Amino acid sequence: MHDANEVVIAGKKPENAGKAIIMLHGRGAGAEDMIHLASELDLEGFSLLIPQARRNTWYPYSFLEPEVKNQPWLESALALISELKERIYIAGIATENIYFCGFSQGACLSLEYAARNAERYGGVIAFSGGLIGERIDKSKYSGDFSQTPVYMGCSDPDPHIPVDRVRESYGMLKNMNAEIHLDIFPNMGHTINWEEIEKANRILNSGH
């Protein structure tokens, strides 16, 4: 379904980089949108892996629908991230230097993958997203982030991402030992602001 060959690699090649970041676009967008976002982030020295979702969507329905309704798209998307992570690791980049970043549907997917596969990463950046499912199923998340820096930012209200789910997701990751920070911005809309970019850059430049 989602194709691991449909990946834009920007910045340094993984084998020549000290850090790598997997960037996931939102519904209806594409890899080129994340390239634009990357230009606002401090990613010097990084290898950027930016996959393209089939038909510009990682899964067909809202992230709040029962998980089965978004299959097999969701499992395909999670498998793609796992494959890219493995590609980065084989290239010689340690897991603690692997980062995840996404917006909207891509933010949901970044959080979901990281929470299902919790360990010490370089960081997780989620612009307008939350964990996936009709309700948060704690049985899916059992690892330890070992103080991985995580940043979440979202508007209240957001037309696609209920703030209650954002807060619940924050609590879940915090309980899994993430070093997590959440910002809720009144009436910001479904977008990314400069304060969020600055907070993301602190993680990218933290040396973790």
147-155 average pLDDT score: 98
Tell me the C-alpha distance between 161 and 107, whole Å: 10
For the chain, the structural domain boundaries read 7-204
pLDDT tens for 55-98 read 999 999 999 999 999 999 999 999 999 999 999 999 999 999 99
Give the pLDDT score at 206: 81
Tell me the C-alpha distance between 1 and 55, whole Å: 10
Q: What angle do CA 105, 110, 113 make, to 5 degrees?
A: 120
Tell me the C-alpha distance between 48 and 98, whole Å: 10
- Confirm or reject CATH 1.20.59.10 for domain 7-204, answering yes or no: no
pTM of the model: 0.97
pLDDT tens for 182-198 read 999 999 999 999 999 99
Cα-Cα-Cα-Cα torsion 126, 207, 37, 128, nearest 10 degrees, comes to 10
pLDDT tens for 7-17 read 999 999 999 99
